[in-house]
Amino acid sequence: MRALLTAAALVASASVAHADKLDDIIASGTLRCAVVLDFPPMGFRDENNNPQGFDVDYCNDLAAALGVQSEIVETPFPERIPALMSGRVDVGVASTSDTLERAKTVGFSIPYFAFEMAVTSNDSSGVTSFESMKGKTVGAVAGTYEAIALEEQVNAWGEGEFRPYQTQADVFLALSQGQLDATVSTSTVAQANVKSGNYPGITVVGKAPFDTDYVALFTNREEYGFINYLNLFVNQQIRTGRYEELYAKWVGGDVPSLTVPNAYR
């Protein structure tokens, strides 16, 4: 009898030891999401100080799928992974690039969003595509990936002018005023600025052939059951059309593919 009791205790202990974060979240009734709230349209606060944006809706959708309540934990970019490691959040829904270096610390899902680079032009510039930027006056925020790539492209063309700016607001104001013919930014930034109405006379005219920035949900790297659930959730968001719906709601324009060409599909 003692041996049976010991065996039962070991089984029970093993069950507790191997409990998955997925089970813990469901049992707690709350999903705590790290979300960046100074990065519109992915995350921001509205006039009533309520969290809004693509990532906020995505967290709410994930919580609904799990049958729990969502809790949006405002998390600045540098604090995303520390917030997870310290146990303040269960998952990051925070526009986080799935880099190999970060994967040494956290576990990533498949990509749930892709930041493509878009060309926005002044309507009177004659720029209707990336190629037609050749010979024009273009600009971007100094030090960003798109600024570095765009300046290199202008140098490769051997004509035109590149102008660096301090902020996206400076870039789009210069574009609206005709000081720039065109700019390259992420599709989210481009669409948000065009839709804002603050910069009349500009239009998103196409894509720039720069690298796509794929971002993923993340949680503790050893939580295989939860990561598997996150992967299936992202898959379901795409299959049901919810991804397209959220993209149209918060970003607009052509919906980027979440598959890496020639890598997987």
Q: What is the pLDDT of residues 215-250, one digit of tens each?
A: 999 999 999 999 999 999 999 999 999 999 999 999
Helix (H) or strand (E) holding 106: strand 106-115
Distances from the Cα of 211 to the Cαs of 71, 160, 186, 229, 257, in angstroms? 33, 22, 11, 28, 13
- The reply to whether 61 and 186 lie within a common domain is no
Report the C-alpha dihedral over residues 216, 222, 223, 229, rounded to 10 degrees: 50
pLDDT bucket at 14, cuts 50 / 70 / 90: very low
In total, how many domains does the chain have?
A: 2
**Structural domain boundaries enclosing 125:** 117-207
- The reply to whether 82 and 192 lie within a common domain is no
29: in domain: yes
What's the mean per-residue pLDDT of the chain? 90
Coil, strand or helix at 91: strand
Asked whether residue 4 carries a pLDDT value surpassing 60, the answer given is: no
Segment 75-110, tens digit of pLDDT: 988 899 999 999 999 999 999 989 899 999 999 999
- The reply to whether 141 and 183 lie within a common domain is yes
The region of weakest confidence among 89-93, 127-131, 146-150, 152-156 is 146-150
Asked whether residue 137 carries a pLDDT value surpassing 60, the answer given is: yes
pLDDT bucket at 265, cuts 50 / 70 / 90: low
The stretch 165-169 carries a mean pLDDT of 85
The stretch 161-174 carries a mean pLDDT of 91
Q: Is the four-CA dihedral 166, 167, 168, 173 of positive or negative sign?
A: negative
Helix (H) or strand (E) holding 23: helix 21-28
74: in domain: yes
Question: What is residue 56's predicted lDDT score, i.e. its pLDDT?
Answer: 98
31: in domain: yes
Asked whether residue 35 carries a pLDDT value surpassing 60, the answer given is: yes
SS3 per-residue string spanning 132-166: HHCCCEEEEECCCHHHHHHHHHHHHHCCCEEEEEC
Question: What is residue 18's predicted lDDT score, i.e. its pLDDT?
Answer: 55
CATH number for the domain that contains residue 87? 3.40.190.10
Q: What is the distance between the alpha carbons of residues 32 and 225, in angstroms, rounded to a whole number?
A: 17
pLDDT bucket at 15, cuts 50 / 70 / 90: very low
- State how beta strands 44-45 and 51-52 pair: antiparallel
5: in domain: no
- The reply to whether 31 and 105 lie within a common domain is yes
- The reply to whether 164 and 139 lie within a common domain is yes
**Lookup: tokens for 50:** 């309520």
- The reply to whether 33 and 161 lie within a common domain is no
- The reply to whether 45 and 100 lie within a common domain is yes
Asked whether residue 171 carries a pLDDT value surpassing 60, the answer given is: yes
Asked whether residue 26 carries a pLDDT value surpassing 70, the answer given is: yes
- The reply to whether 102 and 188 lie within a common domain is no
Final residue of a structural domain among 180, 207, 234 = 207
- The reply to whether 99 and 160 lie within a common domain is no
- The reply to whether 123 and 94 lie within a common domain is no
0.75 surpassed by pTM: yes
